[in-house]
């Protein structure tokens, strides 16, 4: 019974973690320092790349970008990744461009 309960708990925990991840193409990178914009089904994400190789425009990245903190991003095109500080998520295209312009000087 304990093994069954442990397996069930592990499945629920794993499923919750996977459900929070999202993917999308990079639509802006490298033109203004470490700023990056990703188009996800939940809206645009704007981030400041902190560590690792920054993915170029067109690459698809996967990660959890639902909080204003440093989050891991995985580039499925190059099998690489890095960390980025999320500065906006769930944004419309217009709002993402406003955030980008306010940080790109």
What are the structural domain ranges in the chain? 22-103
- The reported pLDDT for the residue numbered 13 is 42
- The reported pLDDT for the residue numbered 72 is 93
Q: What is the mean pLDDT of each run of 10 residues along the chain (105 residues)?
A: 45 45 91 91 94 93 92 93 94 94 85
- The reported pLDDT for the residue numbered 10 is 42
- The reported pLDDT for the residue numbered 16 is 43
- The reported pLDDT for the residue numbered 1 is 53
- The reported pLDDT for the residue numbered 2 is 52
- The reported pLDDT for the residue numbered 104 is 82
d(CA 44, CA 88): 8
- The reported pLDDT for the residue numbered 11 is 44
| β-strand pairing of 43-52 with 35-40 | antiparallel
d(CA 65, CA 14): 17
């Amino acid at each position: 019974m304990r093994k069954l309960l442990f397996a069930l708990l592990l499945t629920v925990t794993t499923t919750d973690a996977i459900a929070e991840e999202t993917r999308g193409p990079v639509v802006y990178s490298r033109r203004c320092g470490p700023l990056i914009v990703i188009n996800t089904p939940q809206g645009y994400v704007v981030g400041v790349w902190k560590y690792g190789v920054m993915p170029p425009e067109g690459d698809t990245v996967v990660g959890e970008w639902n909080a204003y903190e440093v989050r891991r991003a995985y580039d499925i095109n190059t099998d690489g990744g890095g960390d980025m500080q999320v500065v906006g998520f769930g944004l419309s295209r217009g709002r993402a461009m406003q955030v980008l312009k306010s940080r790109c000087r």
